[in-house]
Amino acid sequence: MGAFCLAEPAKDARSQTKVDRDSLDRMKTDLEIARDVKLRPIVDVAADMGIPEEFVEHRGYGMAKIPLAALDEMGPPRAKYVLVTAVNPTPFGEGKTTVSVGLAQGFTRLDKQAVLTLRQPSLGPTFGIKGGAAGGGYSQVVPMEELNLHLTGDFHAVTAANNLLAALIDNHIYQGNQLSINIKRVTWRRVMDVNDRALRNIVIGLGTTLDGVPRESGFDITAASELMAVLGLSTSLEDLRARLGRIVVGFDRHSEPVTAEQIDGAGAMAVLLKDALNPNLVQTLEGTPALIHTGPFANIAHGNSSVVADQVGIRGGDYLITEAGFGSDVGAEKFFNLKCQASGLSPDVAVIVATVRALKLNSGKFDVRAGKPLPPDMVAENPDDVMAGADNLRRHIANVRQHGVTPVVAVNAFPTDHASELAAIGKIAEDEGCTWAIARPHSDGTDGMVELAEAVQEAAEKGSNYAPLYTLDMPLHEKIETIATKVYGAAGVEYDIKARRQLESYERHGYGNLPICMAKTQYSFSHDPKKLGAPTGWILPIREVELVAGAGFVLPLTGSINRMPGLGAHPAAHSIDINEDGEVVGLS
């Protein structure tokens, strides 16, 4: 890590850590840009948030854990709460994280202190096809290598705790199975934080009688695990411990749920996770505080950074900016109806990131595939193709508004975009009575985000009338149908027999008051990734419904959702290496 060095204390430490764009070649990689920035001392970053130095637990260079005891020293919540979401994306993503980072930096030009809360990237996408998730260009979170790799080890703690519980379940079965667990109905699986399709479905316990009881099982990726969702939604160590005890690991021969508490696994898991509960403090390229904590996938889990990170962040600045995974139909819906109900916090404004390429894709005219260049006709100037995808943006705007929150459209500009196409997105927003601004976080950093920061500030000052879309006392099927019809635009819901029986069972066992966390593709409002734009008149099929009692939600499965991704023919791991100076190369 010799490429990083501490900034010397100065009267204006923030100005001395800004990126010197005259001295940096714009063709440099994200990693090279990150290495050319001098980090502020992490205690100074914490001080900007009102966190005393004694509550800064150093975890390597430029990183710290913030214990929840710091909340008592920071005072009451004071920041405006800003959500960043997006339209339905292309396989490449639309730069939502980069916009979030740039917006946090942009507020400094308005003499406002912003705090950023983001999920930690999973190693699966980092070494797979997507790459890291620290932002990009001149709007990044640093130190970039640590953020995209191990950071402070929270993912490993989740993996270890999850697999400890799995070992205790199989040991309980091996040692006589006093709880009469039905080995055909063990729902707890092992996890690891890399993509490995060969482990999706396996048989364990093979060998001699001393090697355990043979049964079918499998692995999920850590970011898709219930334990990651539990960590993200817990509000305190006491709450974490209680949630761990409520985890349902399977069902007995009478179809009664068996919990982690019953097999004496919750306490040991809490011990492994007690430090992981504390959020991680790092900074942006320009020294803005960033809390990076938990990493649940959005299309299978709740897709938001942790509640405790937001509890710290909302006390530490004028604006708290948080990002929800994918679009308003996925991460934002779960933010509004899951996370906010767990945290008790109310958002003031929601930024919807829209791009020329995403709206062109949602026109239905183009075939875009991961790992392949955009079609030439898609890159050519054609504002009519943008307008053909307008219904997608319109529905995302409506989704935010029906939760009582004011939307602001951020037009994230790429080098291949044309002025007429950017203006077309602005026209869509204006027609919907929605404020909009062009954002250039990747190329221009703070300079490219001032207009958006001003628009967000104006909208946030007006406040919101936030309310969740459904009440928890509604039957489970009514909550599912509310999301399907009001958020997705479905005409109705169709349940497989198995799903109906599961819903009836969960309500019978007292889980009917839980919120809903839909497992759904991010590429469409529907369950079918090929249904682009804003489809109507379709029926949402629910093939199965899982109980995620520890995290505190019910998980309906729509379409084909996989908890363990696979690697492509040329994964990012092929290009990542270490050079003769001990520096990471190829990380993006």
Kindly report the CATH number assigned to the domain that includes residue 171: 3.30.1510.10
Q: What is the pLDDT of residue 144?
A: 87
Mean pLDDT of the chain, nearest integer? 92
**Beta-bridge partner residues of 117:** 291, 322
- Give yes or no: residues 224 and 322 share one domain: no
Q: Is residue 569 part of a domain?
A: no
- Lowest average pLDDT, out of 252-261, 363-372, 414-423, 449-458, goes to 363-372
**Are both 377 and 457 inside the same structural domain?**
yes
Of 578 and 455, the one with more pLDDT? 455
Q: Do residues 407 and 487 both lie within one domain? A: no
Work out whether strand 248-252 and strand 584-585 pair parallel, antiparallel, or are unpaired. unpaired
Q: Render pLDDT for 407-440 as a digit per residue (tens, 0 to 9).
A: 999 999 999 899 999 999 999 999 999 999 999 9
428 falls within a domain: yes
Is pLDDT of 467 > 50? yes
d(CA 12, CA 26): 26
Please name the helix (run of DSSP H) or strand (run of DSSP E) that holds residue 537, with its range, or none.
none
Question: Quick one: average pLDDT of 275-300?
Answer: 95
Coil, strand or helix: which one is 288? coil
* Amino acid, single-letter form, for residue 61: Y
Give the model's pLDDT for residue 10: 31
d(CA 458, CA 439): 16
d(CA 248, CA 547): 7
Q: Does 329 share its domain with 236?
A: no
How many structural domains is the chain composed of?
A: 3
Considering the entire predicted model, what is its pTM? 0.92
Q: Could you tell me if 20 and 145 lie in one domain?
A: yes
| Residue 29 binned pLDDT confidence (cut-offs 50, 70, 90) | confident
Does residue 11 have a pLDDT over 60?
no
Instruction: Indicate whether 572 belongs to any domain.
Output: no
Across the range 431-451, mean pLDDT stands at: 96
Closest-CA residue to 369 (of 91, 104, 578, 18): 91
Cα–Cα distances (Å) from 112 to 292, 315, 316, in that order, read 21, 14, 11
Same domain? 139 vs 202: no
Domain that holds residue 203: 154-273
Same domain, 530 and 456: no
Q: Please tell me the total number of residues recorded for the chain in this structure.
A: 588
